[in-house]
Amino acid sequence: MIFFRATALLVFSLGCIATQTTVTVSSTGAQAVPTTLFGATFEEVNQAGDGGIYAELLKNRAFQKVTPGTPESLDGWQSVGGANITVVQDASPVSTALPNSLRVTIPTGKIAPVGFANEGYFGGMAVDTTLTYTVSFFYKFPTASSFRGTAVIGFQTASGLSLGSTTAPINGNQTTWLQVTVSFKPVQTSLNNNNVFAITFNAMAAAGQTIHFAMLSSLPPTLAGGCRIDLVSVLQEMQPGFLRFPGTENLGKTIADRWQWNNTVGPVVNRPGRVGSNGYVYTDGLGLFEFLTLAEFLRATPIMSIYAGLSLDGSIVDEEDLFPFIQQAIDQINFVVGPTNTPQGAMRASLGHSTPFALTYIEIGSQEFLTSDTYQTRWLDFVTILSQSFPQLRFIAASSVNNPVLAPDPTHWDLHLYQTPSWLAQNSMFYDGIERNGVMYLEGEYAAISDNSDDPNSDRFPFPTIESALGEAAFMTGLERNSDIVFGASYSPLFNNILTTQLTPSLISFNVNQVFRSTSFYVQKLFSLNRGTQYWPSTVPDPNGSIFWSVVVQSGAKTFKVVNLSNVPENVTFISPALLAGSGTVTVLNGTGSTSNTPSTPNAAVPVTSSINLGNQPQWTYVAPPMSLSVIRVL
């Protein structure tokens, strides 16, 4: 997913000559700031979805895309009390989407409870006695038996101590799949997350029985279509103006394992899942409807990418074979916005959303292998047909390095950028030089990912630092200045599970029950919450300097953002006769350049707000702390 623009590694010169920066704020030429300016891109990497924001606790819950009989097919599962458990290709599977099931054979001669357990995604399971958990599974007996028994369903510590359970009848006459759904509240608090979810039987009563299980699920209360409450809340806190999904990695590594919307909607028992792009199976529990629900919940404009015949492994659908893929994209868009008299719109309505979702932006692909020739063909074919079917939509061309010349001329581009902090600051002028010809830009993925002295291709650091976050902040002042042509920007990747990470740094880190906000998260949040509705032009910063700023206004409140990136002593004097600033607050995020919020130091740098009075003067001076972002919001 990573492409680089031309690399220019420059280090800020350190000086000690006192200088003074004067910023004149202009009373003319104010421009509207798009509500979508600062948003979020979801990327399925680092278990961001499965084992992340998708709240399912059971790992490998439906034995999707595993080879039956192999040890790997039991990933996440273990025997309890000596039961024999094997993943089998079921002769009559629970659905065509899910061919595998778990065959459980209860041995004879046991006394303790026997059955099977799931260890959860990375880091175990947090069991919370204040929450009600909903469990569901399918079971059947391959051959009818006289067994009439009870399954005990609950959480246990690693050493087998019950933390709370419920029961469900299991009958040997059940030779076709039956779904069982139960809910319960644990009664015992666990000292740690080293817990499992277990289904067990009385060993004597069940001795000799063989039972098949499929599509098992255990969920705590969720928000917005099955999402983890704490991770949705941290997104809510950021107030993203858009949600871009399903993400480059999620569009698929191969043609066969591409994102297919119709395999991600409806009952989870009908979702086959896919071999993912990052070494783990994508369950597609977090499917199209869930993404749309999440965007709606966050009041974020959806920016939906569609698979465009280009996969991450380089495989390409030949042009003469593209039509079914375009048709699948049409069907996908109809699911989102189609009237309920289309099959796809009817399906959306059946899921509880009869009104169309608000959709404006479709991204054609996501950045894969954009040599002019491969992308040109796909851009032409998809946009020509899709814009006939959906003239109200805007189509975004995915770009990276090559700036392919495309026909028809894109009206919207998505550019991606992973660089050093100083590169980002120095290139905060990038959009100043872009022609104003009606074309709009999305900076759909960007981040400062290494120290200034390191190569961002190879030396990505584990967590954002103050220096990287301030490089992004400097860059973002340029996005604000150019918000007449930049309609959106999002840091990427959004999430990482700290116990399994393929790509660092990420904006938000988490484990099973904790969330860690990075320095970059606070920068995104401060810009998003202080986006303003009007941008007021001011003196343009020196891109090679160390002070960056922007001025926005919203309902009479004026917001001045000041980024101080170096130890060159200089004051910033704002001259703004038309924008007399009185009193309000200043929020400062600062630290040493290498300060990181990590799981062991989660609050090393957090924004601090205090009051400020600028005296309603046409001219005032602000002394920004070293290595800081200051957001001054005054009336």
Ligand X SMILES: *[C@@H]1O[C@H](CO)[C@@H](O)[C@H](O)[C@H]1NC(C)=O
Nearer to ligand X, 193 or 571 (CB): 571
Cis, bond preceding 246 (omega within 30 deg of 0): yes
Handedness of CA 290, 296, 300, 306 (dihedral sign): positive
Size, binding site for ligand X by CB under 6 A:
36
Contact between 569 and ligand X by CB under 6 A: the answer reads: yes
Nearer to ligand X, 112 or 623 (CB): 623
Q: Which residues contact 288 (CB under 8 A, 6 or more apart)?
A: 246, 261, 264, 265, 332, 335, 336
Q: Which residue is nearest to ligand X (CB)?
A: 626
Burial of 172 (0-12, 13-18, 19+ CB in 10 A): middle
* Contact pattern for ligand X over residues 123 through 162, marking x by CB under 6 A: -------------------------x--------------
Nearer to ligand X, 142 or 626 (CB): 626
Judged by CB under 6 A, which of 15, 208, 267, 625 binds ligand X? 625
The backbone torsions φ and ψ at residue 487, rounded to the nearest 5 degrees and listed phi first, read: -100, -5
d(CA 586, CA 633): 6
The least CB distance from residue 402 to ligand X, in Å, is 23
Token digits of residue 597: 């919020």
Nearer to ligand X, 134 or 210 (CB): 210
Judged by CB under 6 A, which of 564, 576, 587, 597 binds ligand X? 564
The least CB distance from residue 375 to ligand X, in Å, is 23
Judged by CB under 6 A, which of 544, 585, 609, 613 binds ligand X? 544
d(CA 400, CA 380): 18
Judged by CB under 6 A, which of 79, 171, 236, 360 binds ligand X? 171
d(CA 424, CA 472): 6
d(CA 234, CA 369): 33
The least CB distance from residue 210 to ligand X, in Å, is 10
Q: Are 134 and 57 in contact (CB under 8 A)?
A: no
The least CB distance from residue 557 to ligand X, in Å, is 23
Nearer to ligand X, 181 or 594 (CB): 594
Contact between 14 and ligand X by CB under 6 A: the answer reads: no
Contact between 64 and ligand X by CB under 6 A: the answer reads: no
Nearer to ligand X, 130 or 610 (CB): 610
Nearer to ligand X, 86 or 534 (CB): 86
Contact between 595 and ligand X by CB under 6 A: the answer reads: yes
As separate numbers, helices (DSSP H) first and strands (DSSP E) second, the chain gives 10, 33
CA distances from 460 to 450, 504, 562 (A): 5, 6, 26
Contact between 16 and ligand X by CB under 6 A: the answer reads: no
The least CB distance from residue 96 to ligand X, in Å, is 8
Characterise 202 by phi-psi region: left (phi > 0), alpha (psi -120 to 50), beta (else).
beta
Residue 170 DSSP SS3 = strand
Binding to ligand X, residues 67-86 (CB under 6 A)? 84, 86
Judged by CB under 6 A, which of 95, 134, 174, 539 binds ligand X? 174
Judged by CB under 6 A, which of 95, 236, 262, 617 binds ligand X? 262
Three state DSSP letters for 302-353: EEEEECCCECCCCCECCHHHCHHHHHHHHHHHHHHHCCCCCHHHHHHHHCCC
Contact between 252 and ligand X by CB under 6 A: the answer reads: no
Burial of 36 (0-12, 13-18, 19+ CB in 10 A): buried
Contact between 283 and ligand X by CB under 6 A: the answer reads: no
Binding to ligand X, residues 90-119 (CB under 6 A)? 97, 105, 107
Judged by CB under 6 A, which of 25, 288, 406, 547 binds ligand X? 547
Q: What is the DSSP letter of 427?
A: G
Token digits of residue 610: 């205090």
The least CB distance from residue 171 to ligand X, in Å, is 4
On the CB side of 403, how many CA atoms lie within 13 Å of its CA? 3
Cis, bond preceding 421 (omega within 30 deg of 0): no
Contact between 626 and ligand X by CB under 6 A: the answer reads: yes
Binding to ligand X, residues 290-329 (CB under 6 A)? 328
Contact footprint for ligand X (CB under 6 A): 10, 18, 20, 84, 86, 97, 105, 107, 148, 171, 173-174, 260, 262-263, 270, 328, 543-544, 547, 564, 567, 569-572, 590-592, 595, 605, 621, 623-626
